[in-house]
Amino acid sequence: MPNTKGYAAYSPTDEIKPFDFDRREVGANDVKIEIDYCGVCHSDIHTAHNDWGMSQYPVVPGHEILGRVTEVGSEVSQFKKGELVAVGCMVDSCKQCDSCKDGLEQFCPNMVMTYASPDPVMGGVTHGGYATQIVVDSHFVLKVSDKLDIKGVPPLLCAGITTYSPLRHWGIGPGMKVGVIGLGGLGHMGVKFASAMGAHTVMITTSPEKGEDAKRLGAKEVLVSKDPEQMQAHAGSFDFLLNTVPVAHDLNPYMPLLKNEKTMVLLGATPVDLHSMGLVFGRKHIAGSLIGGIKETQEMLDFCAEHNIVSDIEMINIQDINQAWDRVMKGDVKYRFVIDMQSLKD
Ligand code: NAP
Ligand code: ZN
């Protein structure tokens, strides 16, 4: 009998279904975690559907993992049985390259993603958090404050760090006007963080009906990107734009929003259209950003504990996952699905 129950995509087009498999034995530096909750990221769907052309099946998605330690390896002193912990998008790296030494494990050439990445220990590919348990190198395990409403914590491990990291890197703070494009899982965390950091935060959305929510989440203004008059009214006024759009789209209408010399950061891994004129006039920048390092992820979790920030979530059972994915693809989620993993254990 395999030691772990999970759910997997078996092909780019099938619904995801039960899949049992073996996790590795706990090694000297490992932590074994019983998973209580796992968030649902749009990347889970991109990978299952092979949108990036490199998926190997079966894909067990899930990189927003929260649970309790059930066992630690002989060399692990920083975690103990019963402790509340989390795992995000990475489960290993070389720990020796410049990126690893700089705390930027996400850029290590040997970084191992939590799912659908070649598995250096078990062979095949790694399996993520749509499962009852996981065994992870302790360097990639995060501590979570018991003070937070833990059901809203899992999405911090991807949607949270992915938006926190660029906001910190580009020094967002009071006196700056920041636009967050797309009110989904990443976007709603972007709005919470940018406003907690003191910026004047504007939600830039295709969905006018999300406006009220955006304000509740911390946005001072709402800008409907499909309305050229509204876009014109905000021209040349933004210090920073955080773009979370998950599908191919046209950047050109957004570039005039930036002040000269300012930056739009792209988070979605998707083709975009851009005429260089949008950058040339005003020496503007386009950049990308990938999750965040382990040290910064712990800093983000501590920031959340200090500011009482968690995700706004809709809890589902694993058996409802296919309908939940359909809703994510329609932009119909407020604002992250989290799977109650008890539904897989019953
Ligand atoms: P999500 O929950 O589906 O939210 C995306 C939002 O984008 C939607 O709610 C919608 O908001 C907006 N949108 C959708 N289609 C659009 C279109 N055609 N034009 C303009 N806006 C559109 O997705 P997510 O989980 O936040 O993920 C967002 C992207 O980030 C995905 O591609 C994911 O793979 C990627 N990602 C990247 C990293 C990284 O490290 N860089 C990490 C995690 C995820 P409105 O209704 O408000 O317009
Ligand atoms: Zn993610």
Sign of the Cα torsion 67, 71, 75, 80 reads positive
Give me the chain's average pLDDT, please: 97
Residue with CA closest to ligand 1 atom 25:
42
Residue with CA closest to ligand 1 atom 44:
43
Structure tokens given for 61: 């998605």
pLDDT at 16: 96
Specify the 3-state DSSP secondary structure of 228.
Answer: helix
* pLDDT of 89 over the 90 cut: yes
* pLDDT of 317 over the 90 cut: yes
How many angstroms does the Cα of residue 273 sit away from the middle of ligand 1?
Answer: 16
pLDDT at 95: 97
Ligand 1 atom closest to Cα of residue 159: 43
Q: Which ligand is nearest to the CA of 270?
A: 1
Task: Report pLDDT digits (tens) over 274-310.
Answer: 999 999 999 999 999 999 999 999 999 999 999 999 9
Residue with CA closest to ligand 1 atom 46:
207
pLDDT at 282: 98
pLDDT at 346: 87
Mutation test of ligand 1: which of 215, 267, 326 has the most ligand atoms closer than 8 Å to its C-beta? Answer: 267
pLDDT tier at 123 (50, 70, 90 boundaries)? very high
Q: Give the start-end residues of each E strand in 234-293.
A: 238-243, 249-250, 258-266, 272-273, 285-288
Structure tokens given for 317: 């059972």
Question: Residues 338-342: what's their mean pLDDT?
Answer: 98
Architecture of domain 4-158+292-345: Alpha-Beta Complex (3.90)
Strands 272-273 and 238-243: unpaired
Specify the 3-state DSSP secondary structure of 11.
Answer: coil
**In the chain, where does the domain assigned CATH 3.40.50.720 lie?**
163-288
Mark out the alpha helices in the chain (DSSP H runs).
Answer: 42-48, 98-101, 159-169, 185-196, 211-217, 228-233, 277-280, 294-307, 321-329, 342-345
Dihedrals phi, psi of 202, to nearest 5 degrees:
-120, 130
Residue with CA closest to ligand 1 atom 34:
43
* Residues in contact with ligand 1 (CB, 6 Å cut-off): 41-43, 46, 158-159, 162, 182-187, 205-207, 210, 244-247, 249, 267-270, 289-291, 328, 331, 333
pLDDT at 177: 98
For domain 163-288, which CATH number applies: 3.30.1490.20, 3.40.50.720, 3.40.50.150, 3.40.50.11540?
3.40.50.720
* pLDDT of 196 over the 90 cut: yes
Q: Which ligand is nearest to the CA of 265?
A: 1
pTM summary value: 0.97
Radius of gyration of the chain (CA): 20
Q: Cα(first)–Cα(last) distance of the chain, in Å?
A: 17
pLDDT at 163: 98
Task: Report pLDDT digits (tens) over 179-191.
Answer: 999 999 999 999 9
Mutation test of ligand 1: which of 90, 106, 241, 245 has the most ligand atoms closer than 8 Å to its C-beta? Answer: 245
